[in-house]
């Protein structure tokens, strides 16, 4: 029940990104043999190391793209909220001008 409220408050985004980040961290665990100097690795290990580094690079790029999409969505929401706020302020200003004119009559 608490998770549902938290998810509604955050729009679900923060929880999703946190889960995805944990998923990526679990998938791409650097094994002990990968820390050896490259001269000490055999051909198979070198190939697996290159594959691991490529997967790591791809996952980081994928995460970065997701963050950029989320950032753009949030920026658009801010622009919409700002426009609505300015409309409300303008409406209040028009009301004030109307009542000031009525008082001056």
Q: Which of 31-35, 44-48, 60-64 has the highest mean pLDDT?
A: 60-64
Q: From residue 28, how far is each of 1, 34, 62, 78 by CA, in Å?
A: 32, 12, 14, 35
**What total number of domains does the chain contain?**
1
- Using CA atoms, how far apart are residues 95 and 66, in angstroms rounded to an integer? 44
Q: What pLDDT is stored for residue 82 in this prediction?
A: 98
* Mean pLDDT value of segment 50-68: 92
Instruction: Name which residue leads in pLDDT, 19 or 60.
Output: 60
* Mean pLDDT value of segment 80-87: 98
pLDDT band (50, 70, 90) for residue 39: confident
Q: Which domain holds residue 54?
A: 2-104
Question: Would you give the DSSP letter of residue 21?
Answer: H
- Using a cut of 0.85, tell me whether the model's pTM lies above it: no
């Amino acid at each position: 029940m608490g998770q549902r409220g938290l998810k509604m408050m955050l729009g679900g985004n923060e929880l999703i990104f946190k889960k995805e980040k944990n998923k990526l961290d679990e998938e791409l665990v650097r094994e002990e043999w990968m820390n050896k100097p490259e001269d000490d690795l055999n051909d198979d290990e070198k190939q697996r190391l290159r594959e691991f580094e490529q997967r790591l690079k791809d996952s980081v790029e994928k995460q970065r793209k997701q963050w950029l999409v989320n950032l753009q969505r949030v920026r658009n929401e801010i622009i919409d909220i700002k426009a609505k706020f300015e409309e409300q302020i303008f409406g209040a200003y028009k009301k004030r001008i109307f009542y000031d004119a009525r008082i001056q009559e």
